[in-house]
Amino acid sequence: MSEPFRHRFRVRYAELDPQGVVFNARYLEYADLVVTEYWRARQLRMFGEDALEFHVAHADVNFRKPIRADEEIEGRAWTTRIGNSSMTTRIELHGVQPDGSDDLRAEIELVNVHVALETGQSLPIPDSARAALLNA
Exposure class string for 1-38: b at 16+ Cβ within 10 A, else e:
eeebbebebebeeebbeeeeebeeebbbebbebbbebb
Count up the domains in the chain and report the number: 1
Please report the pLDDT score of residue 78 as a whole number.
97
Predicted confidence at residue 1, as pLDDT, reads: 52
Predicted TM-score (pTM) of the model is 0.92
What was the pLDDT predicted at 99? 92
* SS3 category, 33: helix
Q: Report how far residue 131's alpha carbon sits from residue 64's, in angstroms, rounded to the nearest whole number.
A: 32
Q: How far apart are CA 73 and CA 22, in angstroms?
A: 12
Contact by Cβ (8 Å): 27, 9: no
Domain extent at residue 29: 5-134
The full DSSP string for 50-67 is T---EEEEEEEEEE-S--
Written as tens digits, the pLDDT of the chain (136 aa) is 568 999 999 999 999 999 999 999 999 999 999 999 999 999 998 887 778 999 999 999 999 999 999 999 999 999 999 999 999 999 999 999 989 888 999 999 999 999 998 898 999 999 999 999 987 5
Is 120 in contact with 57 (CB distance < 8 Å)? no
